[in-house]
Amino acid sequence: MAEAGIEGLLLWGPAWRRENVRYLTGAPLRGSFSAVYLPAVGEPTAFVSREEDRDAVERTGWIRDVRPLGFPGCGEVVSRIRDGGPPDRIGVALWELVPEALGGVLRRELPRTEVVCATDLLDRLRMVKSSWEVEQIRKAARVCEAGFETFLQTLRPGVAEYEVVAAVEETLKRLGAEDNFMLIASGRDEVRSMTPPGPRRIERGDLVRTELTPQVHGYWVQICRTAVVGVPSEPQLRSLDLFREAMEAGIAACRPGVTAHEVAKAQNDVFRKHGYGEYCTSRYTRVRGHGQGLHLDEWPTLLEGVEVPLEENTVLIVHPNTYTPLAGYFVLGDPVVVTREGCERLLRTEPTLFAV
């Protein structure tokens, strides 16, 4: 905050993006909105929209000042920021998601206070995990793998995609997962992307792809794997070889000081070497991986051109997921934590094409 010239930091937490509020409070929240104000000098204040969220924050024991968040007026937030005199400059994390109800109040009631976006500041702060955070992520990885085992056990001809996902959800919730972000795609080489689960029934010979991402103790961990119902075909096995080589190249590149650009390029260069370079572009795919933690898709993004250096205890999912004409869309990816001399893989599940 001192380096950014910020006298106060307001963390905004809509229901679908609570990671910064969770980072500062440690509390799992359920309300539609929440916020935390952290002054450069003095104690922080949490604002919650539900009474049970107040209890959750108070149970963590760190933030003692917990107040109701009256939306859309948000007068409590402005009053807290004014304590001791209006600051010259405050940063708002997720300012781009702040509704006009709050943004307008801040501009109107604090006319002499400059409001700047602090999303990047929090993204970069959360990129490097503490040893406690890494341990939570390791625990989440075990739950993630249990969910994937259920995924494999459920696959058979005639089962619907939504039935597979429902079985996985039951396993994850039983093991303590707070949430799960899961994509699935079944079919053959006509499949070009991942989707939410639908009513399509799986057929013999299908590839079934999944990105399975449970949240445990606030932290998300993802596994990306592809399975075949039946006997793998020669193009499917060639696709596995291509994607495994790319994933391993990306993981081998992960170490302190290496940039997200270099990790992405290591994967893309494998596709280029084998004549599939065009399928690494935005025409066919999005990213070569991304950070994971309190948000399931956090900084840094693994793309060529993203010159963000990795640091020790950065957690990433390295996944060269994309479409190729070999076997359609294919997914393969593992999460890693960057260590002093390289990286540690967080999953024990073999990076292969599972035949069920």
Question: CA–CA separation, 113 vs 222, rounded Å?
Answer: 41
Q: Are residues 72 and 159 in the same domain?
A: no
pLDDT at site 125: 95
Residue 78, SS3?
Answer: helix
Average pLDDT over the chain reads: 95
Q: Are residues 171 and 263 in the same domain?
A: yes
Q: Are residues 120 and 139 in the same domain?
A: no
pLDDT at site 75: 84
Contacts of 13 by beta carbon, 8 Å cutoff, 6+ apart: 19, 20, 21, 22, 29, 33, 34, 35, 36, 94
Residue 287 included in any domain: yes
Residue 76 included in any domain: yes
- Domain containing 312: what range? 131-355
Q: Are residues 249 and 298 in the same domain?
A: yes
Residue 154 included in any domain: yes
Structure tokens at 144: 């993630």
What pLDDT band is residue 274 in, cutting at 50, 70 and 90? Answer: very high
Q: Are residues 77 and 141 in the same domain?
A: no
Question: CA–CA separation, 346 vs 222, rounded Å?
Answer: 10
Contact 6, 118 (CB under 8 A): yes
Residue 3 included in any domain: no
Q: Are residues 55 and 193 in the same domain?
A: no
Comparing 95-99, 152-156, 170-174, 264-268, the range with the smallest average pLDDT is: 95-99
What pLDDT band is residue 80 in, cutting at 50, 70 and 90? Answer: very high
Residue 316 included in any domain: yes
Q: pTM score, two decimals?
A: 0.93
pLDDT at site 116: 96
What pLDDT band is residue 70 in, cutting at 50, 70 and 90? Answer: confident
Out of 93, 109, 127, pick the residue that ends a domain.
Answer: 127
Contacts of 132 by beta carbon, 8 Å cutoff, 6+ apart: none
Q: Are residues 86 and 207 in the same domain?
A: no
Q: What is the CATH number of the domain that holds 261?
A: 3.90.230.10
pLDDT at site 310: 98
What pLDDT band is residue 74 in, cutting at 50, 70 and 90? Answer: confident
Q: Are residues 172 and 113 in the same domain?
A: no
Q: Are residues 296 and 272 in the same domain?
A: yes
Residue 2 included in any domain: no
Per residue in 303-350, pLDDT (tens digit) is 999 999 999 999 999 999 999 999 999 999 999 999 999 999 999 999
Q: Are residues 60 and 139 in the same domain?
A: no
Residue 1 included in any domain: no
Q: Are residues 67 and 55 in the same domain?
A: yes
Out of 127, 159, 193, pick the residue that ends a domain.
Answer: 127
Q: What is the CATH number of the domain that holds 89?
A: 3.40.350.10
Per residue in 221-234, pLDDT (tens digit) is 999 999 999 999 99
What pLDDT band is residue 84 in, cutting at 50, 70 and 90? Answer: confident
Question: CA–CA separation, 40 vs 7, rounded Å?
Answer: 5
pLDDT at site 200: 96
Out of 78, 108, 127, pick the residue that ends a domain.
Answer: 127
Does the structure show a pLDDT above 90 at 63?
yes
Q: Are residues 139 and 117 in the same domain?
A: no
Number of independent structural domains in the chain: 2
Per residue in 245-255, pLDDT (tens digit) is 999 999 999 99
Structure tokens at 326: 């070999």
